[in-house]
Amino acid sequence: MMARSRNIKPGFFSNEHLAELDFATRLLFIGMWTEADREGRLEDRPRRLKMALFPADNVDINSMLDDLDHLGFIKRYTVGDVKAIQVINWTKHQNPHMKEAQSTIPEMPVVEASEGKPDASTIQAPDSHSSFPADSLSLDSLNLIPDSLNPSPAPVDRAELFARFWKLYPRKVGKDKAEKVWAKLKLTQALFDQILQALAKHSLTPGWTKDNGQFIPHASTWLNGKRWEDEVDPPTNVHPFPAASRHEGFDKRDYRAGTKENANGTFRI
């Protein structure tokens, strides 16, 4: 397949969601546009993409594609024996030349749009491309950001929230790996609150409290598995308030109980 000329707009470089990805993955995303056909589809062949786009670099294309899929910039799918990739909202942001060959890759199975979401499908009908030449600018191609990410939620300070999470996580092992997983989360304040609430519940379970916590998973494992979504039953042997100390309440004790008072005002047993 011959590489093609495509559009790239300033909004690409300032998008906060793309900023979550490393430099090589962002470059891969751009390179994929030149490999995609007029429908924004290309074969899901990581080795071929590496040879086409990163022939001299040691990069993990498969993992990078997973990251792009996770954030909603592409969709990896399979139709029969064909593994393919669809660049999301391709036809809204690119104007392939009218003479480009028709796509030979099966289109992504379309889930029926629910009410109130008329724009759920990103697949444009065949032969409906503009007659503008490739690289022309249109009002619909001012950026290449999936509509599902706009408008974006209120920004959160990822570093500050991770520091709070790490301070509370009971097993301080593999901090670097945990930070990398944290960077890939679609983090919002609501999700962060959910994570902390779940962490508090997990911290009381027998699997986390026995044997000095040796069975507590690494934070990266816990985050990767989205364990905050687990249903955790609160332990029945944990009291909501600690037992009263035997060193407290001296002023409220009756030290005369069980004694008899003498005529001189003293007490005897």
What's the pLDDT tens digit per position in 128-153?
Answer: 444 444 443 333 333 444 444 444 45
**Residue 234 falls inside a structural domain:** no
Q: How many domains are contained in the chain?
A: 2
Going from the C-alpha of 79 to that of each of 32, 109, 232, the distances in angstroms are 20, 8, 38
- Residue 210: is its pLDDT beyond 80? yes
- Residue 157: is its pLDDT beyond 70? yes
| pTM check: above 0.85 | no
pLDDT at 117: 38
**Residue 143 falls inside a structural domain:** yes
Confidence of residue 127 (pLDDT cuts 50, 70, 90): very low
Looking at per-residue confidence, does 161 or 213 come out higher?
Answer: 161
* Same domain? 130 vs 167: no
* Same domain? 169 vs 218: yes
- Residue 122: is its pLDDT beyond 50? no
Q: How much is the average pLDDT of 153-166?
A: 84
Q: Are 44 and 76 in contact (CB under 8 A)?
A: yes
* Same domain? 143 vs 173: no
Residue 267: which H helix or E strand, with range?
Answer: strand 267-268
Q: What range does the domain containing 175 cover?
A: 158-229
* Same domain? 124 vs 21: yes
Residue 84: which H helix or E strand, with range?
Answer: strand 82-87
